[in-house]
Amino acid sequence: MKKNLQIPPDLIPFFRTNHAGETGAVYIYKAILYVSKNKEIVNFATNHLKTESEHLKLIENILEKRHRSKLIFLWKIAGFTTGLIPSLFSKKFVFATIFYVESFVEKHYQEQIDMLGSKSKNNELKKFLKKLQEDEISHKDDAILEVSKFSYFHKIWGQIVGMGSAFAVKISMYI
Ligand SMILES: [Fe+2]
Ligand SMILES: [Fe+2]
Protein backbone atom coordinates (compact mmCIF):
# COMPACT_ATOMS: atom_id res chain seq x y z
CA MET A 1 0.00 0.00 0.00
CA LYS A 2 1.18 3.52 -0.85
CA LYS A 3 3.01 5.41 1.84
CA ASN A 4 2.37 8.83 0.39
CA LEU A 5 -1.38 8.60 0.48
CA GLN A 6 -2.90 12.01 1.19
CA ILE A 7 -5.62 12.36 3.77
CA PRO A 8 -8.03 15.22 2.89
CA PRO A 9 -8.10 17.77 5.76
CA ASP A 10 -11.72 17.04 6.65
CA LEU A 11 -10.85 13.38 7.16
CA ILE A 12 -7.87 13.97 9.47
CA PRO A 13 -10.04 13.86 12.63
CA PHE A 14 -11.51 10.56 11.42
CA PHE A 15 -8.05 9.17 10.86
CA ARG A 16 -7.15 10.28 14.37
CA THR A 17 -10.06 8.13 15.60
CA ASN A 18 -8.91 5.27 13.34
CA HIS A 19 -5.43 5.47 14.77
CA ALA A 20 -6.80 5.54 18.31
CA GLY A 21 -9.11 2.62 17.51
CA GLU A 22 -6.46 0.42 15.97
CA THR A 23 -4.26 1.13 18.99
CA GLY A 24 -7.12 0.02 21.21
CA ALA A 25 -7.62 -3.09 19.07
CA VAL A 26 -3.98 -4.09 19.48
CA TYR A 27 -4.41 -3.79 23.25
CA ILE A 28 -7.64 -5.78 23.30
CA TYR A 29 -5.82 -8.73 21.80
CA LYS A 30 -2.77 -8.18 23.99
CA ALA A 31 -5.01 -8.45 27.06
CA ILE A 32 -6.70 -11.59 25.75
CA LEU A 33 -3.31 -13.19 25.16
CA TYR A 34 -2.13 -12.03 28.59
CA VAL A 35 -4.92 -13.94 30.35
CA SER A 36 -6.18 -16.75 28.18
CA LYS A 37 -4.60 -20.18 28.14
CA ASN A 38 -7.24 -21.68 25.87
CA LYS A 39 -5.66 -22.86 22.63
CA GLU A 40 -8.52 -21.77 20.41
CA ILE A 41 -8.56 -18.28 21.90
CA VAL A 42 -4.80 -17.95 21.80
CA ASN A 43 -4.81 -18.87 18.11
CA PHE A 44 -7.66 -16.51 17.33
CA ALA A 45 -6.12 -13.61 19.24
CA THR A 46 -2.63 -14.17 17.84
CA ASN A 47 -3.92 -14.01 14.27
CA HIS A 48 -6.05 -10.96 14.94
CA LEU A 49 -3.27 -9.18 16.81
CA LYS A 50 -1.07 -9.56 13.77
CA THR A 51 -3.65 -7.92 11.51
CA GLU A 52 -4.38 -5.11 13.99
CA SER A 53 -0.67 -4.35 14.31
CA GLU A 54 -0.47 -4.11 10.53
CA HIS A 55 -3.48 -1.79 10.48
CA LEU A 56 -1.83 0.41 13.06
CA LYS A 57 1.38 0.55 11.07
CA LEU A 58 -0.48 1.39 7.84
CA ILE A 59 -2.25 4.29 9.51
CA GLU A 60 0.97 5.49 11.13
CA ASN A 61 2.52 5.58 7.66
CA ILE A 62 0.01 8.14 6.45
CA LEU A 63 -1.09 10.03 9.57
CA GLU A 64 1.50 12.51 10.80
CA LYS A 65 2.42 12.35 14.48
CA ARG A 66 1.05 15.84 15.15
CA HIS A 67 -2.38 14.67 14.01
CA ARG A 68 -2.54 11.68 16.33
CA SER A 69 -4.54 11.57 19.54
CA LYS A 70 -2.85 13.02 22.61
CA LEU A 71 -4.66 10.39 24.69
CA ILE A 72 -3.03 7.28 23.29
CA PHE A 73 -2.28 5.99 26.80
CA LEU A 74 -6.01 6.13 27.51
CA TRP A 75 -6.93 4.18 24.36
CA LYS A 76 -4.38 1.56 25.34
CA ILE A 77 -5.93 1.21 28.79
CA ALA A 78 -9.45 1.17 27.36
CA GLY A 79 -8.50 -1.51 24.84
CA PHE A 80 -6.70 -3.59 27.42
CA THR A 81 -9.69 -3.44 29.79
CA THR A 82 -12.08 -4.38 26.99
CA GLY A 83 -10.02 -7.49 26.29
CA LEU A 84 -9.24 -8.29 29.91
CA ILE A 85 -12.77 -8.40 31.34
CA PRO A 86 -14.23 -11.07 29.03
CA SER A 87 -11.00 -13.10 29.20
CA LEU A 88 -11.53 -13.49 32.95
CA PHE A 89 -14.98 -15.00 32.37
CA SER A 90 -15.36 -17.33 29.44
CA LYS A 91 -14.36 -18.24 25.93
CA LYS A 92 -17.76 -17.32 24.56
CA PHE A 93 -17.63 -13.96 26.24
CA VAL A 94 -14.33 -13.20 24.49
CA PHE A 95 -15.78 -14.07 21.08
CA ALA A 96 -18.92 -12.06 21.79
CA THR A 97 -16.79 -9.04 22.70
CA ILE A 98 -14.85 -9.26 19.46
CA PHE A 99 -18.11 -9.51 17.56
CA TYR A 100 -19.36 -6.27 19.15
CA VAL A 101 -16.07 -4.42 18.75
CA GLU A 102 -15.64 -5.39 15.10
CA SER A 103 -19.27 -4.60 14.28
CA PHE A 104 -18.66 -1.10 15.59
CA VAL A 105 -15.44 -0.69 13.59
CA GLU A 106 -17.06 -1.98 10.41
CA LYS A 107 -19.67 0.78 10.62
CA HIS A 108 -17.11 3.38 11.56
CA TYR A 109 -15.08 2.63 8.44
CA GLN A 110 -18.22 2.50 6.30
CA GLU A 111 -19.13 6.01 7.41
CA GLN A 112 -15.78 7.26 6.11
CA ILE A 113 -16.01 5.29 2.88
CA ASP A 114 -19.37 6.95 2.29
CA MET A 115 -17.92 10.38 3.05
CA LEU A 116 -15.27 9.89 0.38
CA GLY A 117 -18.03 9.40 -2.16
CA SER A 118 -17.28 8.58 -5.76
CA LYS A 119 -14.70 11.26 -6.54
CA SER A 120 -11.82 9.61 -8.35
CA LYS A 121 -9.20 11.60 -6.41
CA ASN A 122 -10.35 9.74 -3.30
CA ASN A 123 -10.05 6.29 -4.85
CA GLU A 124 -6.78 5.30 -3.23
CA LEU A 125 -7.89 6.30 0.23
CA LYS A 126 -11.18 4.52 -0.26
CA LYS A 127 -9.31 1.38 -1.22
CA PHE A 128 -7.20 1.80 1.90
CA LEU A 129 -10.24 1.98 4.16
CA LYS A 130 -11.99 -0.86 2.38
CA LYS A 131 -9.01 -3.11 2.96
CA LEU A 132 -9.06 -2.35 6.70
CA GLN A 133 -12.82 -2.82 6.79
CA GLU A 134 -12.57 -6.18 5.04
CA ASP A 135 -10.19 -7.42 7.70
CA GLU A 136 -12.49 -6.23 10.48
CA ILE A 137 -15.43 -8.01 8.85
CA SER A 138 -13.43 -11.22 8.71
CA HIS A 139 -12.54 -10.76 12.41
CA LYS A 140 -16.23 -10.36 13.14
CA ASP A 141 -17.02 -13.48 11.13
CA ASP A 142 -14.34 -15.46 12.99
CA ALA A 143 -16.00 -14.46 16.26
CA ILE A 144 -19.58 -15.14 15.23
CA LEU A 145 -18.60 -18.68 14.22
CA GLU A 146 -18.04 -19.33 17.92
CA VAL A 147 -21.13 -17.68 19.34
CA SER A 148 -24.32 -19.19 18.06
CA LYS A 149 -26.49 -17.41 20.62
CA PHE A 150 -25.86 -14.27 22.61
CA SER A 151 -26.98 -14.32 26.22
CA TYR A 152 -28.69 -11.39 27.91
CA PHE A 153 -25.41 -10.69 29.68
CA HIS A 154 -23.52 -10.61 26.36
CA LYS A 155 -26.03 -8.15 24.95
CA ILE A 156 -25.68 -5.77 27.88
CA TRP A 157 -21.92 -5.97 27.55
CA GLY A 158 -22.27 -5.34 23.82
CA GLN A 159 -24.17 -2.14 24.60
CA ILE A 160 -21.44 -1.02 26.96
CA VAL A 161 -18.72 -1.78 24.42
CA GLY A 162 -20.65 0.05 21.68
CA MET A 163 -21.24 3.11 23.85
CA GLY A 164 -17.65 3.12 25.05
CA SER A 165 -16.36 2.93 21.48
CA ALA A 166 -18.66 5.72 20.33
CA PHE A 167 -17.51 7.86 23.24
CA ALA A 168 -13.85 7.17 22.42
CA VAL A 169 -14.47 8.16 18.80
CA LYS A 170 -16.09 11.41 19.90
CA ILE A 171 -13.15 12.37 22.08
CA SER A 172 -10.43 11.35 19.66
CA MET A 173 -12.08 13.37 16.89
CA TYR A 174 -10.81 16.40 18.82
CA ILE A 175 -7.92 15.34 21.04
FE1 LIG B 1 -8.08 -3.12 12.72
FE1 LIG C 1 -10.20 -6.14 13.81
Considering only CA atoms, which of 52, 138, 50, 33 is closest in space to residue 94?
A: 33
Backbone φ and ψ for 36, nearest 5 degrees, come out as -75, 140
Mean pLDDT for the stretch of residues 103-110: 96
Alpha helices in the chain (DSSP H): 12-35, 39-62, 72-89, 91-116, 123-144, 152-174
Q: Which residues are near ligand 2, the ion (C-beta closer than 5 Å)?
A: 136, 139
Model pTM above 0.95:
no
Contact 32, 81 (CB under 8 A): no
C-alpha distances out from residue 25 to 11, 97, 124, 138, 142, Å: 21, 12, 24, 14, 15
Amino acid 3: pLDDT? 55
Which carries the bigger pLDDT value, residue 84 or residue 4?
84
Q: Which is nearest to 55 in space by CA: 126, 135, 117, 127?
A: 135
The rounded mean pLDDT for the chain is 93
Is residue 120 scored above 90 in pLDDT? Answer: no
Whose atoms come closest to the Cα of 104: which ligand?
2
Report helix, strand or coil for 71: coil
- Contact call for residues 100 and 158 (beta carbons, < 8 A): yes
Confidence check: pLDDT of 122 > 90: no
Mean pLDDT of 120-127: 87
Q: Mean pLDDT across the stretch 56-67?
A: 95
Residue 24's pLDDT is: 97
pLDDT digit string, tens, across residues 149-170: 888 999 999 999 999 999 999 9
- Would you say residue 104 has pLDDT above 90? yes
Is residue 64 scored above 60 in pLDDT? yes
* Residue ranges with CB less than 5 Å from ion ligand 1: 22, 25, 52, 55
Distance 52 CA to ligand 2 centre (A): 6
CA of 141 to the centre of ligand 1 (A): 14
The pLDDT score that the predictor gives to residue 69 is 97
Which pLDDT score, from 0 to 100, does residue 168 have?
96
